[in-house]
Amino acid sequence: MKRFENKNIVITGSAEGVGRTIAYEFAKEGANVFQADLSVPEKTVELIRSLGKEAPYAICDISKEQEVIAMAKKAAEVFDGKIAILINNAGFNGKANLIKDMKLSDWQYTLGVNLTGTMLVSREFIPYMMKQNSGAILNTSSNVGKRGLPYRGDYVCSKWALLGLTQTLALELAPYNIRVNAVCPGPIEGERIEQLVRMHAEAENFSFEQMHKMWEDVPLKRFSKPEEVAEVVKFLCCDESSMLTGQALNVSGGLIMY
């Protein structure tokens, strides 16, 4: 029996990167996956359908309240109001700016997606989980949700705040048997990390190769694989972790150890 056989999950930010891998890995284990993203998640839909499963989705900017409300309504209709797992993976990387040069609009946009957007999505799906007296919510934070990082103040603060939201929701929803946890990845292999390394290299006057080597300099000496992050996400959402709530697990190759 697959761990998530016939369980209905909603995942935001699944069109690419680790979100795509997470969606596909859940589908491989039998889950019914509803996706929400800024654009049509074509590749993820193709992967899920290759398993012989449906791949419903909604185009949604999670920073916009009415779009989130409409997306949640569509997902509830697809799943007849039964939502087992919510994965808040959508996020924005921000730009490479020191705080002294930060534009208010950039700050507000990053927090609007990463923090307010996660709150809005959670808010809309919580009532369905409360009604069934069960559920799991997983928030994608970051290793910089536990440490500072120059040039990324808006992103860092949004990911720290996500851990506060995770713990608060864990306490609020425990009476309804709804667990809320977070994952804190380090750099993950893929196009996104290559773009980030290049962005930081330009901002900090390093070569791409120098910056890449610095970011790889964790105890395990490599970036995480998307599948490694997905495995931790699945663990936090499965029955084997039934006594875990309010936790933030690191997947950072030893970069963060608390």
Alpha carbons within 13 angstroms on the beta-carbon side of residue 86 total: 31
DSSP helix/strand/coil, 137: strand
Exposed, middle or buried, 64 (CB in 10 Å: 0-12/13-18/19+)?
middle
Question: What token pair was written down for 234?
Answer: 């699945």
Q: Report strand pairing: 178-185 vs 248-251.
A: parallel
Q: Please provide the size of the chain in residues.
A: 258
List the beta bridge partners of residue 59: 37
SS3 helix, strand, coil % of the chain, rounded to 5?
A: 50, 15, 35
Q: Are 181 and 236 in contact (CB under 8 A)?
A: yes
Distance CA 198, CA 193 (A): 8
Which position among 128, 155, 176, 258 bears the catalytic label? Answer: 155
Q: What are residue 9's phi and psi, to 5 degrees?
A: -125, 150
Q: Is 151 considered catalytic here?
A: no
Residues 6+ positions from 233 with CB-CB distance below 8 Å? 22, 25, 87, 138, 140, 183
Active site residues: 155
